[in-house]
Structure 1
Amino acid sequence: MTSRRAVVVDTDTGIDDALTLVYLAAVGGVDLVAITATHGNCSTADSAVNVGHVLGLCGLPDVPIHLGRPGPISGKPPRYSYHVHGHDGLGDLGVEKLPSTPSAEPAAEALVRIGREQPGEVDLLVLGAMSNLADAIAIDPLVLTRYRSIVVMGGSGPYQPAGTILEVDANVDADPQAAEIVFGAEHGNLVMVGVNVTTPAILDEQFLAAVAEQNGPVTSFCTAILSYYLDFYQEKWGRRICSAHDPLAAAILVHPSLVTRAADGPVNVRDDGYAVRARLMRTADLELPAFPLIETPDTHVVLDVDQAAFLTEFTAVLANADARLAAQ
């Protein structure tokens, strides 16, 4: 990376979101401009509290935090992933969280203002339900064109080979109408990092041991919340491992060269009666699907990444987060 990146993060701050914020704070070359809180892993209010705690731990208490919509734009009640992230979003550790005060400026207005003030200079990383982005588009339909890139952790990529089962597309399912607005809006560089590529990005026992070994304030926090996370995922995998969904999206924003294969095309939000997914309207061999699609501006959809390079760097950054942050 040859120049610094200014980044806004829109997040429903659960456990992997918190690890992502630590990564962005410690990786070097990233300036966090603002954080906007949304719903999903936990409530919007708890997400903002969790952001403040992580930023405080990382020595960044002055990064503004903006509260977003408390639920889907449809007005339906939000659904939270308490069983995965705990009722507070960070594993119900019972610790007193570092204090923070959200900005009086709502998330959607902040997203519009930052884009207008710094057109083409700021990247937007989207880690939760896309309600805040939909609200920003309602204010300014061209808001997404004003960001250098918009990297979305969400979607499911193209249709998969027959018999392939994908992880839940949680961030789209949390507010399908908002996702439809986002993928249908005008944009300059919208990147989908879907569960098709994030699920295989496995943080294994070696990663956990490397982070736990350092025993600093930040790494101890990461180890503690990961322990709760893995209590859930061990029932899925039979091992204490998890997928690095949000961290991989952040790493791709910082290091686009991690992407080894991608395709551009329209993304539609599809409901199969069980769950809702955002899909590149292509089959596994990148042919058109067997049914009519809705034409939208092309999204850059990630199909493969250099998983080994990602895991090597992410481990190095997280395991040495305290030293890296102290040196900045």
Structure 2
Amino acid sequence: MTQVRRVVVDTDTGIDDAHTLLYLAGRPDAEIVAITSVFGNCVEEDSTRNIGYVRDLLGLDAPISRGAAAPLAGAPRIAGHVHGKDGLGDLGHDRPMPEVAAENAAETLVRLAAENPGELDLLALGPLTNLAAALRIDPELFTRYRSVVLMGGSGPYAPPGTLLMVDANIDNDPLAAAAVFAAPRNELVMVGVNVTGTTILDERAIGALRASGTPVARFATEILDAYLDFYQNEWGRRIIPLHDPLAAGVLLDPSFATAWQDGPVNVRGDGFLSRARLMRTHDGLPPAFPYEPAPDTRVITAVDAPRFVADFVEVLTR
């Protein structure tokens, strides 16, 4: 019998976040327990509206809590050029503000963990501001979740000459990310751009979604255009990486990950942007500079991208 993972989702609800909620809701081994909003792909208010819209489309009753509208320090940077100003491609969806909990996102994350110790998984899909705020309330918070899986980070240091996609979720609040990677935990899994950038929803897969008559697949493809407009400048093709959905896939089925390393992760800036890195070079050596000790994080370094993409399409067109 398949064990059902009870998942709390923290999300800056843009296009791939919406796809992730669709994917989780379609998997028989997942139950969405609660959803918390954060800024990032869109402003926090739109993130909350988008959560409500997708939740109602799916017929879910998961409660919603509003979270951080800005990072711990500085002003928010919003990715409207990627996801559309409203986060869902600016298609004019009617997105009324849903009923939300009286407590904020950080309080919700702490309460749920205290009420269900060792039973819930926390899936973080945006900047880690809510998680850092929750750690200020309960520094042992991550020891009360069965696992914490986050979409963010850049893996170990890449081979010389290799370029990576921007590590946006970390760069949007590096102080929060540093607090997360330093916190004690049961299991913290980093699904970074080093692997999500290889998990491509290509023309054939997008065509399969478009050809499906299900409301879920129809919505999934409706909101794709803004995302495709952005990523066509990366590869010259109208294809997209499945950033956030891959993190959900690894949470539910760890066998999607085919290689990983366990070790300390630090958040480091280069004067342009910040990344979360496993403190190892591509060949497993420590970096050539001092770094902060931290508890081990499981850093995914390779995935079975074709199998995950096939599963994603099958779930959304079921």
Q: 1:275-326 deviations in whole A, cap 9, x for unaligned?
A: 1000000000111010001001110100111112111111111122xxxxxx
3-state secondary structure, aligned to 2:223: helix
The equivalent residue for 2:22 is 22
Which residue matches 1:5? 5
For residues 105 and 29 of structure 1, the distance between their equivalents in structure 2, rounded to whole angstroms, comes to 28
CA distance in 2, matches of 1:34, 1:287: 40
Q: Distance in 2 between matches of 1:220 and 1:2?
A: 28
Counterpart among 98, 101, 104 of residue 99 in structure 2: 101
Quote the residue 1:68 is aligned against. 67
Compared CA separation, residues 288 and 72, structure 1 to 2 (3 A): same
In the TM superposition, what is the alpha-carbon distance from 1:99 to its structure 2 partner?
5.6
Distance 2:209 2:152 in 1: 26
> Which amino acid is the alignment partner of residue 291 of structure 1?
F
TM superposition score normalised by structure 1: 0.95
Distance 2:150 2:121 in 1: 11
Deviation at 1:234, TM superposition (A): 1.1
- For residues 138-188 of structure 1, what are the alpha-carbon distances to aligned partners after superposition, in whole Å with 9 as ceiling and x for unaligned? 000000110011001000000000000000000000000000000001111
Is the CA contact 1:34–1:65 (under 8 Å) kept in the aligned structure 2? yes
Distance 2:120 2:62 in 1: 15
Shift of 1:98: 5.8
Map of 1:140 onto structure 2: 138
1:242 to 2:253 alignment = no
Superposition TM-score, scaled by structure 2 size:
0.98
- Runs of 4+ in structure 1 deviating by more than 6 angstroms, as ranges, are none
User: What is the rounded CA distance, in whole Å, between the counterparts of 1:286 and 1:309 in structure 2?
Assistant: 27
Partner deviation per Cα, 1:47-94 (whole Å, 9 max, x = no partner): 11100100111111x2101101110011x1101000000110000001
**Matching of residues 135-284 of structure 1 within 5 Å:** 135-284=133-282
1:289-304 paired onto structure 2 within 5 Å: 289-304=287-302
> Is 1:33 paired with 2:33?
yes
Residue 319 of structure 1 corresponds to which residue in structure 2?
317
Identity between Structure 1 and Structure 2 (%): 56
Query: Which amino acid is 2:101 matched to?
Result: S
Partner of 1:288, secondary structure, is coil
The alignment yields a C-alpha RMSD, in angstroms, of 1.0
The one-letter code sitting in structure 2 at the alignment partner of 1:255 is D
Q: Aligned partners of 1:233 and 1:258: how far apart in 2?
A: 24
CA distance in structure 2 between the aligned counterparts of 1:2 and 1:221, rounded to whole angstroms: 28
Question: For residue 324 of structure 1, what is the aligned residue in structure 2?
Answer: none
In 2, Cα distance between equivalents of 1:69 and 1:243: 26
**AA matched with 1:194:** G
Unaligned runs of 5+ in 2: none
Q: How many residues align?
A: 318
8 Å contact kept, 1:212–1:319:
no
Which ranges of structure 1 fall in alignment gaps of 5 or more residues? 321-328
Letter in 1 for 2:223: I
Of 200-209 and 230-239, deviating more is: 230-239
Partners of 2:210 and 2:317 lie apart in 1 by 8
In 1, the alpha carbon distance for the partners of 2:111 and 2:275 equals 30
- What does residue 52 of structure 1 align with? 52
SS at the partner of 1:301?
strand
Partners of 1:220 and 1:262 in 2: how far apart? 35
Partner residue in 2 for 1:326: none
Cα drift, residue 211 of structure 1: 0.8
Aligned with 1:135: secondary structure? helix
Partner in structure 2 of residue 288 of structure 1: 286
Task: State the Cα deviation string for residues 112-144 of structure 1 (Å, max 9, x = none).
Answer: 001111011000000000000000000000001
C-alpha distance in 1, partners of 2:100/2:87?
17
